[in-house]
Amino acid sequence: MKKVMMTILMMVLVFDLAIGQEVKNVIVMIGDGMGVSQVYAGLTANKGSLHLERCQYVGFAKTYSASDYITDSGAGGTAIACGVKTKNGTIGMDTSGNSIPSLLAIASKNGQSTGVVVSCDLTHATPASFIAHQPNRNMTEEIANDYANSDVTVCIGGGRNNFEQRKDGRNITAEMKSKGYQVAYSMDEVAKVKSGKLLGLVAEKHPAAFPERGNMLPDAVSAALDILKNNEKGFFLMVEGSQIDWGGHAKNQEQVINEMLDFDRTIKVAFDFAEKNPNTLVVITADHETGGLSIVGGNLETGEVKASFSTGGHTSVMVPVYSYGTGAKEFAGIYQNTDIKPKILQLYGSKK
């Protein structure tokens, strides 16, 4: 009898351990154009520390696309979202033009809640890669149409004009409203939504740069998590710090640092959620580096940074992958950006 009881006890323990290892919620965070130098510029400006340092494992991803040694955000986003190398400029399709289901689409099919939160137009390349399938990233109206067909639970970003002020006269916001979406045009309106589906279009085009847009990005992630956590099957959320890249293109050091630190405050929101909610995995990476940034001087006491840009475009260097929470150790090592999708699907386990 005692032996039987022990066996049952052991089985319960093993079962509990297995449950503890299961990944239910995944938050993928993409710093557009965020290489190691952008991270260190932010760390220096912040006088020696970042929330990002709470990460548990670090890896590196190779970012080249199917067509180019240096990727754009379309192919880079598609590699992370869909797990395929494709041609620069392509959204959610392989090189033959086949639509490939994204992590978000698969999570949605499995009954999980899903979200996209960005500090750019929702139809921009990175968020589009998780929602849309279009041969060209500039097909913004078609990408907005794909939102209406995506079944995404929560999306918050800019781009209202691509949903409502269109050449074809369609009003995608109205169409999504008729499908049950609550619509919010400001962060105050976003904050009022606690459940159900939400389309948050908080700017006509791109939201302003930081600090003009305030705490839009961290607040939007908090709001999204409040809604997404209601699903007992878990969720998939993609967050983009979209404008780090734009600082690189502009060779504007202050812009890179402002956007990097805004993204870091957003990372804190995700880490705090994962800390309170076991079975949550946070993966933070970039689609590519922008600006060929190097740091040629600085002061950790004053926060002074002396940065030098070697290009106004993207570069080919590997990008860091920082991970936190359940399953985080799977993201150590050097691998392809297309390996991130299968790693996450494997961690989601039986719900595939």
Report the catalytic residues.
Answer: 73
How far apart are CB 212 and Zn ion at their closest, in Å? 20
Q: How many helices (H) and strands (E) does the chain have?
A: 13, 14
How far apart are CB 278 and Zn ion at their closest, in Å? 36
Closer of 78 and 323 to Zn ion (Cβ) = 78
Amino acid letter, 214: G
Instruction: Tell me: cis bond preceding 207? Omega within 30 of 0 counts.
Output: no
Contact positions with Zn ion (CB under 5 A) in 189-248 = 245
141 binds Zn ion (CB under 5 A): no
Site string for Zn ion, 239-278 (x = CB under 5 A): ------x---------------------------------
How far apart are CB 97 and Zn ion at their closest, in Å? 23
CB neighbour burial string for 287-317, b if at least 16 within 10 angstroms, e if fewer: bbbbbbbebeebeeeeeebebebeeeebbeb
Contact positions with Zn ion (CB under 5 A) in 51-110 = none
Alpha-carbon dihedral 71, 215, 221, 33, rounded to 10 degrees: 10
Closer of 126 and 323 to Zn ion (Cβ) = 126
Closer of 73 and 134 to Zn ion (Cβ) = 73
CB neighbour list of residue 254: distance below 8 Å, 6 or more residues apart: 247
> Which position's Cβ is nearest Zn ion?
245
Closer of 229 and 249 to Zn ion (Cβ) = 249
Q: State the DSSP code for 152.
A: -
Q: State the DSSP code for 153.
A: S
Query: Which SS3 state, helix, strand or coil, does residue 36 take?
Result: helix
**What's the number of CA atoms in the CB half-sphere (13 Å) around residue 329?**
1
How far apart are CB 228 and Zn ion at their closest, in Å? 28
CB neighbour list of residue 2: distance below 8 Å, 6 or more residues apart: none
How far apart are CB 248 and Zn ion at their closest, in Å? 7
Closer of 141 and 245 to Zn ion (Cβ) = 245
Of the candidates 107, 97, 109, the residue with the CA atom closest to the CA atom of residue 25: 107
How far apart are CB 134 and Zn ion at their closest, in Å? 18
Of the candidates 138, 106, 137, the residue with the CA atom closest to the CA atom of residue 287: 137
Count residues near Zn ion (CB under 5 A): 1
Quote the CA–CA distance of 89 and 202 in Å, as a whole number. Answer: 25
Residue 152 near residue 107 (C-beta atoms within 8 A): no
Query: Which SS3 state, helix, strand or coil, does residue 160 take?
Result: helix
Closer of 121 and 330 to Zn ion (Cβ) = 121
Q: Given the rule CB under 5 A, which residues bind Zn ion?
A: 245
